Chains A and B, each alone.
Chain A
């Protein structure tokens, strides 16, 4: 298995986890998964990966919702909140992304304190262990 494939698998698993935990627990699940991922994995890149997977997961859910409901509700909700329609999905994605990144960053630091320095291997370009 190449490192890129492994990264893709890991990212996909994380993305699925983000979706499932959002369905099961709601928005609280995102920082929980982000933190757990960073604490268990320990690599330096985990905050960015958690952030990207949370953003992608929520974007996918929103996309499915929009496909099912059409664009009209998005416009109505935007109107009701007094903001451009696109602002709400964007805010949702950014919110998830920041939640995952910050929780992973904090968890990674905690792991450093407890276990030692993080593994600096990055994403797809990193050498396999």
Chain B
């Protein structure tokens, strides 16, 4: 025993020795289990919580993301496969301008910069489409994965990828892009690991070329999976086929088509609605199954059609102030952080010079412009999904289906869903007929055919069009495009403007309709071919001097009655933009920008007069007050407007009262109910004695004016109850309707705060319901001697929530502002003060 210990002991007596002895045993007794527990929670995930060690580590853990958020001003790095040096200049808006000596190098660099800014998004979106989210997020994502696999999307991607011509431009671009993404992943530092991976306790997986196919499939699912025909089928279960066909018609009662007719428009073809008929019970089973697979659920306080809607329009030089063609586009999608789009500029001298937005995972610009041509898209809404009632050998576990009198084996595909640790979460067997995946529908089985399952080369088409010099070249490069069908708007420097609803459209047997469930036991029910490109709805430099699309029916059935679909958005936005463009024969760039967030509403113009007319009739009462308040409205959804909310509540009450036949007696209105569009309501307003006005639960027989009156009164009551007195400030539109931009993986803390926007249901920049949809990218391009562009999107270039580039554009987007897009031809074309950072990639 040492001197010190002896001295200590003799000074304090025997007690400390006892304490020490006790401590000597207590410490390991506490320390060992504590250490074991800490190592366990440090290395193992506990439920949804990640392992604590890698998370809390101050150097490599979640804190490292703060270092990754800083934008390093200068980096030189080598990546494998590069042919020459690539210079990447980030401008002040965080847009990478990629200057490469060859196209593959440009695509490789694009993969690198996209991975740098959007790595988690890249993997999450590809996994969502491939149905492998459980492998990163655990069993909580199982229902999403099951839906994707039951729809047959992963199988379709595998088959498409297997059929890819590896010498094709798209395949080569994707290979180079993949190498760029993986160069970033392979050299990933702790600081650059996206924070979401840390929270999940995961590491990024290498990118594969097939992921690009998954991604395009995902876009097809989002844009081309139509459920409106299913709502029509659901309506048959309530009111019979004749009435349901009238409530969900495949021709819009108001025609403002994309392809100009040469006659005055809009053309009104309002019809008298037939009365409710005998229900078709089986229709409900069919629609319930298929609706369960729909990507979007309508908000329960309004129609989905009011909340979503893309626009594009182009103006010929003769109608612009500067004498140059102008093009504008604003695709509307679910608003997420990071945004679905990533902005970039690719330059290969003499070969490629393209600016615009790409989807992370796509190796080229999707919407944008080069030095000669600009292009943008809206969704065509064509019917490209059909259902077939199949006859099977064993309804519980079928292995064969009946086709032309013979039993045909089903393709059985076993789908395994894996956990992050590789364990099996669940196993499904998906059955396929020659048409596509088959799903149980009540006691029967339905198979599905979808153009998205067809072989295609979209990536190549998107790569090819970036080289186009004229509208004609652009259209030619896109002629083989398959899905999702898009209204492709193009303009060039020569002043040509054009649009074509491009994508494959099936030719069906018999009456050609796709909004029916066909007999799967006959091959005669199958598609018999495809429309040819010249048959697609289209227009090239029409006499009217402008072209506009807003997801409306592309071609007037009076011009061509051929069935193309039934899921057209109401033409309110199309009517409004056409009205604005007809009235302006000297359109400026700024006018194009203003139109994108125009607060006017063709829908309000159509309905408000009916409310005012009824409110002016005796007897007076609260309806007269509501009428006076509504009359003060200028029918514009500006942020400071204080009357739009009354109109919206009255419209909601009106729809609830009128369409009671489409829900169970006494049941409240729900988002999943089949609800006809407001256009049908307008048809009904023309027929004041229709039986549809009667509310079944009441003993009296109501007529039109009584329902309008009651709706307006209830609308006022609801508005006052929710928002206070009319002039107390609570009715301000900005406080009622806001845009909500949520994190891609719905991590609450990474959402943006709600922002006020200009626009309401069915305005050109529609905002409705929860406000989770909106303009995902706004762009205006002037095709003068030097192409000029302006644009923005609601978010920022970085996917790192800790970065100042995560949501830096949101404020300007909400105000309807556009940024000037810089398009230098060479690195020297970007002024030093415009450069925020520089990356030099050199061959390894």
A→B interface (CB under 8 Å): 22-23, 26-28, 31, 44, 47, 58, 61-62, 65, 68-69, 72-73, 76-82, 88, 91-92, 95-96, 98-99, 101-106, 108-109, 112, 117-121, 126-127, 129
Contacts and interface: CB of A to CB of B under 8 A. Distances in A.
A28 B53 contact: yes
Given A68-B66, A105-B31, A129-B4, A26 B59 contact: yes
A77 B53 contact: no
Contacts of A82: 748-749
Contacts of A72: 802
Contacts of B4: 120-121, 126-127, 129
A28 B58 CA distance: 12
A95 B801 CA distance: 25
A65 B566 CA distance: 57
Given A95-B56, A117-B24, A78 B749 contact: yes
A95 B53 CA distance: 8
B374 interface: no
B58 A22 contact: yes
Contacts of A129: 2, 4
A98 B38 contact: yes
**Among A23, A31, A95, A96: residue with most chain B CB under 10 A:** A95
Contacts of A31: 35, 38-39
Contact of A109 (B24, B42, B69, B747): B24
A88 B801 CA distance: 17
B792 to A, nearest CB: 23
B63 A62 contact: yes
B286 to A, nearest CB: 42
Contact of A81 (B27, B53, B199): B199
Contacts of A117: 1, 24
Given A65-B67, A79-B748, A127-B4, A102 B34 contact: yes
Nearest to A79: B749
Q: Which are the 8 A-B pairs with shortest beta-carbon distances?
A: A79-B749, A105-B31, A80-B749, A109-B28, A69-B66, A102-B35, A61-B58, A105-B27
A48 B306 CA distance: 65
Given A95-B52, A103-B35, A106-B28, A76 B67 contact: no
Interface string B409-428: 00000000000000000000
A101 B54 contact: no
Interface string B1-45: 111110110000000000010011001101110110011001000
A109 B3 CA distance: 22
Interface string B669-705: 0000000000000000000000000000000000000
Given A26-B59, A27-B61, A47 B27 contact: yes
Contacts of B65: 73, 77
B610 interface: no
B775 interface: no
B60 interface: yes
B28 A23 contact: no
**Chain B's interface: helix, strand, loop or mixed, by majority?**
helix
Interface residues of B, number: 44
B20 A26 contact: no
B57 interface: yes
Nearest to A57: B58
A22 to B, nearest CB: 5
Contacts of A103: 31, 35
Given A47-B31, A77-B65, A129-B4, 5 more contacts: A27-B60, A44-B20, A62-B58, A81-B199, A105-B27
Contacts of A27: 42, 53-54, 56-57, 60-61
A81 B52 CA distance: 12
B58 A58 contact: yes
Contacts of B24: 109, 112, 117-118
A128 to B, nearest CB: 9
Interface in B43-80: 52-54, 56-63, 65-67, 69-70
Contacts of B27: 47, 105, 108-109
A99 B749 contact: no
B750 interface: yes
B38 A95 contact: yes
B195 interface: yes
B62 A26 contact: no
A26 B60 contact: yes
A63 to B, nearest CB: 10
A76 B59 CA distance: 18
A116 B227 CA distance: 78
Nearest to B196: A80
Contacts of A65: 58, 63, 66-67
A66 B519 CA distance: 66
A95 B51 CA distance: 12
A79 B35 CA distance: 29
A95 B52 CA distance: 9
Which of B57, B747, B749 lies at the interface centre, i.e. has the most chain A CB atoms within 10 A of its CB? B57
Contacts of B70: 68-69
Contact of B802 (A47, A69, A96, A121): A69
Given A65-B63, A99-B38, A129-B4, A81 B56 contact: no
A105 B751 CA distance: 44
Nearest to B806: A76
A95 B40 CA distance: 12
Contacts of A58: 58
Interface in B738-768: 747-750
Contacts of A47: 27, 31
Contacts of B30: 102, 105
A80 B747 contact: yes
A108 B616 CA distance: 91
A106 B31 contact: yes
